[in-house]
Structure 1
Amino acid sequence: MTAALRVALAGLGTVGGGVIRVLQQNRELITRRAGRPIEIVAVSARDRSKDRGVDISGFEWVDDTSALAACDADVVVELVGGADGPALALARATLAAGKGFVTANKAMLAHHGLELANAAEGAKVPLKFEAAVAGGIPVIKGLREGAAANAIDRVYGILNGTCNFILSKMEAEGRDFADVLAEAQALGYAESDPSFDIDGVDAAHKLSILSSVAFGMKPAFGDVAVSGIRDVIAADIAEAAALGYRVRLVGVAEAGASGLFQRVHAHLVPTHHPLAHVTGSTNAVVVDGNYVGRLLFQGAGAGDGPTASAVVADLIDIARGEFGPAYAMPVASLAEASPAPTGERRGRAYLRFTLADRVGVLAEIAAAMRDAGVSIESLIQRAAPEDGTALVVIVTHEAPESHVEAALERLRGSQSLAGEPFWMHILD
């Protein structure tokens, strides 16, 4: 049998422990599929004495994470996290040493992926990152291999399990955002500082990676328009349900003649759409190809098992000698990603206003919409709560986004508004 693929593992947290368990429990199966054994030979983490529920006594311990690049291994797996710091130093050192590199680090790839892909090509070694997007769902492999013959029109989906858990819990139980966020933190679905998740940054990292692989563009995380779910309230969930929608945080990317459009934003998703039925911490990605049609990838978007499964799948590919350019084509072939203007994008919008409950307020809003060229499809006003305000929800007919922005600008500073208007796009 061919010599074993020797692996050095940086990071022994939830996913790192999962990688060790997968390789141990499925050892025989993995060896047959890879055509050779895959063996961890060295590990590194912050605390050597911590009990991780797996036996690491048979592995060489390396205190300095960056030094793993110099150990006797063929591939280094990075599960440390962070866009810069030790993770990036290890990536650079590994590729410079002519060794393969596997990572689940979406932040590092979003910010430095092009540099690392170029280094991997120069060293003629693999750079693999299936686990960086959507956990155990093989969406990167699906785009790079299964849909390789297709021009991809659009890729979009639910890319953050924390946000989806919160929104679907609000939907099922009628609870407010802050209450469900606290529960998500208690259950371990959300970090003590949940900003990256609930503000859409984590989903934006993943979307920029998907965009690059799907469209053959250089990664352009800085061009992703990002907003999260902090401002979604229970009333939005209820109104969406009454209108035949569910609220989901959706990342959307499209490439066209006007450039690359990338946005992470709360959307109203029609109940007949598959994404409306994705609940809990599940992720789902939809890919529209010009010959394959619509593909739906759905599954566990995080966790030790699913993410470790994706890491080991990358190792199996490397053991087989099956790998190509990180972004599905050589770096020199990746196109520059100029951001597409959003003003002329047409769609329907959900607008929520908190208003002073007095005569003439609705007329003021209607006039602003009319003057900006936005037609109102439906308008709902709910009884004023005790603070003397009223909740008004408007769904517009299809219109350019610039017209909706102009209508909201006309209302800016109005004494009739008791708070900032809230806008969600409606998924077509």
Structure 2
Amino acid sequence: MRNKLFLVSAILFNAAVALAQEVKFEEYNLDNGLHVILHQDNTAPIISISVLYHVGSKDEDPERTGFAHFFEHLLFEGTENIEKGKWDQIVSSHGGSGNATTDEDRTYYYEVFPSNNLQLGLWLESERMLHPVINQKGVDTQNEVVKEEKRLRVDNAPYGMFIENIKKNLFNKHPYKETVIGKMDHLDAATLEEFIAFQKKFYTPNNAVLVIAGDFENDNAKKMISDYFSSIPKGQDISRNFPQEDPITEQINAKAYDPNIQIPATMIAYRTPGLKNRDSQVLDMISTYLSDGPSSKLYKKIVDEQKQALQVGAFPATQEDYGMYIVFALPVGETSLETLNTEIEEEIEKLRTDLISENDYQKLQNKFENQFVNSNSSVEGIANSLAEYYMLYGDTSLINKEIEIYRSITREEIKEVANKYLNPNQRLMLEYLPEQNTAN
């Protein structure tokens, strides 16, 4: 009885904490199509200004991959009113920080400032949208930056090429088969006119969302947004009609070789639905159950108890159109990859066959409650979430409601989704090997 009372108390406490974290926001559109989201929080003198563009690697010409990631760098080069190379200096000299990220579906730029620099942040992002300078010198400079990044993070990094090998085997038709960083020969071959055309098509107000989160006054912020962004011309409408993948009905076997590793790895991947599909949240929960922390099923069994693996993990790579569910493990000593595959499949088969225990289910719920609270604990995190929920999910209010989806997932649903997507005939089995094994 004491355990049951404690469990009920813990659930009520977590629910109360989550409710206290409700994010209030206002959203509206400018005439040029720019979507604006405002989250006012005057508890600390900090402001986050961000712009998310609905453009990622999937939007590229297959003969010009890497453009979206390239523009992540290129649009820091300078504008008509910001001297080349001065962007970061302007931000840091006003006590701020900033960065950008790109993936398959979107590109996200942001700055965080003391709140008295809201106007500066809005000016910077309006300059990026309206007045970017795209010339051959800037293209050549960033081309070298991107090549160096690829050398460091992909070509010369241990296990740095595993995602690209998974993607090219899981996807045959959809542009998700390409990498975000792209092919360097595509960037080398691109003309200045092609870069300019890409910017004009995708980096427009009607393909973007502007988010302000933090310490500001609503009316003042709205006036500045209008002053800096309302005159930016609307871009062309963008239509997307990507080819659909055929279902995977037979196991795909593949090998990849990496000169930067000494220990081989097994990588098992499944193609899963896009992020708007409820099943993607269930798979997120399955991932946490299998490999989040030393008490998770795969880690406890293969690493801790049986000592067959140095490391094991599972994670869902959620994307707008399709997702990937990836399980990986690095063997210990003479343990074979086949043995690891067998042990991993045994745990996944249990998910397909049996309901997880009530105790494990409650642990999952507690973890997702904590993740929810932590994701809304900073203005930077809130700004990012608001932008992505609006642009990719089509529902900004998910910032408060998505936790309800996780709360409503049942043990029976976990079993059902495992049976729907995580079967042996639906998977890629990738042997990721040191390069010296090529001749074998």
Q: One fold, TM greater than 0.5?
A: no
Please, what TM-score do these two structures have when normalized by structure 2?
A: 0.21
Bigger share in helix: 2
Name the one with the larger strand percent. Answer: 1
TM-score (norm 1): 0.22
